[in-house]
Amino acid sequence: MPQNIDSILQENRLFPPTTDFAKSATIDESKLQALYQQAEDDHEGFWASLARDELNWDKPFSTTLNSHNAPHYRWFEDGELNVSYNCIDRHLADKADKTAIIFEGEQGDTRHITYAELHRDTCRFANALKAQGVETGDRVVIYMPMVPEAVIAMQACARIGAIHSVVFGGFSAEALKNRIDDASAKVLITADGGHRGGKIVELKAAADKALENCGESLQKVIVLKRTQHDIPMKAGRDIWWSDAIADVNDKCTPVSVNAEHPLFLLYTSGSTGKPKGIQHSSAGYLLGTIMTMKWVFDHRPDDIFWCTADVGWITGHSYVAYGPLAVGGTIMIYEGAPTVPDTGRFWKLCEDHKITVFYTAPTAIRALMKSGDEVPNKYDLSSIRLLGTVGEPINPEAWMWYHEVIGKARCPIVDTWWQTETGANMISPIPGVTATKPGSCTRALPGMALDVVDDEGNSITTPDKGGLLVIRKPWPSMLRGIWGDDARYVETYWGMFDNRFYVAGDSARRDQDGYFWIMGRIDDVLNVSGHRLGTMEVESALVAHPAVVEAAVVGRPDEIKGETIFAYVVLKGERPADGIDDALTLELRNWVGEQIGAIAKPGNIRYADNLPKTRSGKIMRRLLRTIASGEEITSDTSTLENEAILLQLQGKE
Ligand code: WT7
């Protein structure tokens, strides 16, 4: 994290919501207290009543929570509903002509899609999926640029009860292949490409490569024409999106699925080399996104809501494709990079489309902050009323810039802590009520039982004492498991405290006001530009290269990205002079890019004869982290098997 822990410990500036904001906010102090009280008095009853009020059920549920097989919790399990119906159809009576999606491509092309049009397009595409053989429960992989069709594809899957697995367009062919195989997906939806950074992202080329050695499951590829450049189509397997929807009906009856029916899988990194397919439910997941749209984003009918995340991440699921539509909102989708044609693009989009709620990541804020105040100051940002941040702890300096330069000290900032696994925001300010502190995500939301505990699982009550972030009670939008690996689900999230509570994998502390401060991961997971990457994943990619014998990967603090990847590599051949070999480094970076994706490319690679190990052979990553960040080693290293290697690793030999 690019921040000095001492300066954060002293951070005590308090920013209460402005009177203007507080006056008009949907949740005020007394409503919030009532919500906390209800949740406290009757956790299940609290969620049951919200689920009845906020979701349209085809068959009402009679049991709220089934904990018999904990930690395999089931919410509203005998109820039935359809997520796409809840996001689209139920708004048609009074919002058919309301804009659901405002789209702008990187090259400036724009589209407005009403709820009626979204309904028609979703129905058509759902019918097209059925025509291609997709049935309820089948897995469909979506590998798309950030265009409305990505959301339409997700909604169409939900409509017929197919389980989507969106793979971020920046992931490589190899990563795509692994995800297709792990889920035994039947259909892949992709595009001829997307526009990003002034270039075409060759999605179809990557898809073709992935499919060369995929398993048997995959039968069809549906390809959207986005860039219109020439790409090969494989007869019998590939079909254009436009052809797939050409002869289908405009109506598609939504399939009633069980509340617990899997809505989607989303792969995320953990502490082994293999990403986990996080499985989410239908009803509970949607309820989490709806409640947080209301509580955290203070949703109002005339909002233009822009969450800048790609649909390849959980943020793009919960706050692009599902939550804002479920509440009948208008979302903004932007296809391209924030720097095209210049670093004012985000602010220009805010001005042009009159964005009211803007939700992005600290890494983007820091990068845009670097380009100077004069860039945002050129644009009219007066439509913005609320700002949000997510993905990693935000350093107070970036928070203050966001507050002053973008929010003009008018807009509350909601710093939302949550995870792929939690499905929706868990810790966040309530914008009309909570006085915020730069760098703190403040308090747990109603019905979310967050706590900080010590190694024995006892709640830590001493202010500012760090511990493990846990969730004491199940919540509706929680993950339901890891696809195909139940043992890993139980072990990763519940094993530490005998299934009693969910272990988030973050360390945190609470200050004297009870505010949460997230301190970082406790496992071997890095946070690069707000995206989770497992050190083991990068290490396995490196050792798969013929020249590499062993590799250790650690995070190095970075001013903009939060962390960058520093890799220590032992080669089969001789160690290059001074541990540096630019040509090989370039090759290995590209290699990792091919194995995982560009975000996983190490920023630095240093070659060594060996790695620092304990006598039992465990690599001491802690020492490597210290070295990578350029700090002096102060701990005792005499227990190392090969203490002398430290000098070489530090470049002192
Ligand atoms: C991890 C989850 C949830 C969407 C984006 C990332 C870190 C997330 C915050 C925040 C401090 C945060 C945590 C968490 N994180 N939001 N507001 N403050 N840290 O999703 O890839 O599942 O990563 O991101 O370390 O465990 P993800």
Determine if ligand 1 sits within 6 Å of the CB of residue 310. no
The CATH number given to whatever domain includes residue 636 is 3.30.300.30
| 506 C-alpha to ligand 1 centroid (Å) | 9
Cβ count within 10 A of residue 458 = 10
Asked whether residue 1 is domain-assigned, the answer is: no
Average pLDDT over residues 99-120: 98
Asked whether residue 178 is domain-assigned, the answer is: yes
In the structure, what pLDDT confidence band is assigned to residue 7 with cuts at 50, 70 and 90?
A: low
Give backbone dihedrals phi and psi of 158, rounded to 5 degrees, phi first. -60, -35
Q: How far apart are alpha carbons 204 and 228 in whole angstroms?
A: 12
The DSSP bridge pattern shows strands 502-510 and 516-521 to be antiparallel
pLDDT in tens, 130-159: 999 999 999 999 999 999 999 999 999 999
| Six token digits for residue 230 | 């020439």
Quick one: DSSP state of residue 643? T
3-state class (DSSP) for residue 417: strand
Determine if ligand 1 sits within 6 Å of the CB of residue 393. yes
| 521 C-alpha to ligand 1 centroid (Å) | 9
3-state class (DSSP) for residue 149: helix
Query: Domain boundary residue among 337, 359, 384?
Result: 337
Q: Which amino acid residue places its CA nearest to atom 13 of ligand 1?
A: 392
Determine if ligand 1 sits within 6 Å of the CB of residue 493. no
Please give the number of the atom of ligand 1 that sits closest to the Cα of 532. Answer: 21
Asked whether residue 126 is domain-assigned, the answer is: yes
Q: How far apart are alpha carbons 413 and 422 in whole angstroms?
A: 21
pLDDT in tens, 362-376: 999 999 999 999 999
Give the pLDDT confidence score for residue 334 in this predicted structure. Answer: 98
Say if residue 3's pLDDT is above 60.
Answer: no
Q: Which amino acid residue places its CA nearest to atom 18 of ligand 1?
A: 393
Q: Which amino acid residue places its CA nearest to atom 19 of ligand 1?
A: 392
pLDDT in tens, 547-581: 999 999 999 999 999 999 999 999 999 999 889 99
Say if residue 2's pLDDT is above 80.
Answer: no
Determine if ligand 1 sits within 6 Å of the CB of residue 645. no
Asked whether residue 492 is domain-assigned, the answer is: no
List the one residue out of 158, 191, 177 whose CA is nearest residue 83. Answer: 158
Determine if ligand 1 sits within 6 Å of the CB of residue 314. yes
3-state class (DSSP) for residue 492: helix
Show the beta-strand stretches assigned E in 430-524. Answer: 450-453, 467-471, 481-482, 502-510, 516-521
Determine if ligand 1 sits within 6 Å of the CB of residue 145. no
Give the pLDDT confidence score for residue 618 in this predicted structure. Answer: 85
pLDDT in tens, 411-452: 999 999 999 999 999 999 999 999 999 999 999 999 999 999
Give the pLDDT confidence score for residue 614 in this predicted structure. Answer: 86
Say if residue 332's pLDDT is above 50.
Answer: yes
Determine if ligand 1 sits within 6 Å of the CB of residue 521. yes
Determine if ligand 1 sits within 6 Å of the CB of residue 542. no
| 441 C-alpha to ligand 1 centroid (Å) | 11
Determine if ligand 1 sits within 6 Å of the CB of residue 597. no
Asked whether residue 323 is domain-assigned, the answer is: yes
| Domains of the chain: total | 2
Asked whether residue 43 is domain-assigned, the answer is: no
Mutate to test the pocket of ligand 1, among 518, 519, 533 (most ligand atoms within 8 A of CB): 518
Determine if ligand 1 sits within 6 Å of the CB of residue 419. yes
Contact 140, 152 (CB under 8 A): no
| Six token digits for residue 319 | 């706050």
Query: Domain boundary residue among 317, 337, 357?
Result: 337
Token pair 């406790």 is found at: 522
Q: How far apart are alpha carbons 393 and 466 in whole angstroms?
A: 15
Mutate to test the pocket of ligand 1, among 426, 529, 532 (most ligand atoms within 8 A of CB): 532
Query: Domain boundary residue among 320, 337, 354?
Result: 337
Cβ count within 10 A of residue 241 = 22
Give the pLDDT confidence score for residue 69 in this predicted structure. Answer: 96
Kindly report the pTM of this predicted structure: 0.95
The CATH number given to whatever domain includes residue 120 is 3.40.50.12780
Name the least confident of 333-337, 386-390, 473-477, 649-653: 649-653
Q: How far apart are alpha carbons 418 and 448 in whole angstroms?
A: 11
Q: Which amino acid residue places its CA nearest to atom 24 of ligand 1?
A: 391
110, burial (CB in 10 Å: exposed 0-12, middle 13-18, buried 19+): exposed
Please give the number of the atom of ligand 1 that sits closest to the Cα of 520. Answer: 25
Contact 80, 259 (CB under 8 A): yes
CA distances, 94 to each of 88, 111, 159, 181, 324 (Å): 11, 22, 21, 43, 16
CA distances, 49 to each of 55, 260, 280, 427 (Å): 10, 18, 21, 21
Residues facing residue 171 across a β-bridge: 597
Mutate to test the pocket of ligand 1, among 289, 417, 479 (most ligand atoms within 8 A of CB): 417
Q: How would you classify residue 423: left for phi > 0, otherwise alpha for psi between -120 and 50, otherwise beta?
A: left
Contact 361, 328 (CB under 8 A): no
Determine if ligand 1 sits within 6 Å of the CB of residue 391. yes
Asked whether residue 265 is domain-assigned, the answer is: yes
pLDDT in tens, 160-206: 999 999 999 999 999 999 999 999 999 999 999 999 999 999 999 99
Determine if ligand 1 sits within 6 Å of the CB of residue 309. no
Determine if ligand 1 sits within 6 Å of the CB of residue 390. yes
Asked whether residue 163 is domain-assigned, the answer is: yes
| 313 C-alpha to ligand 1 centroid (Å) | 11
What mean pLDDT value characterizes the chain? 96
Mutate to test the pocket of ligand 1, among 470, 527, 529 (most ligand atoms within 8 A of CB): 527
Give the pLDDT confidence score for residue 639 in this predicted structure. Answer: 85
3-state class (DSSP) for residue 265: strand
State whether the Cα torsion 568-571-577-582 is positive or negative.
negative
Please give the number of the atom of ligand 1 that sits closest to the Cα of 389. Answer: 17
Please give the number of the atom of ligand 1 that sits closest to the Cα of 531. Answer: 21
Domain coverage including residue 581: 525-649
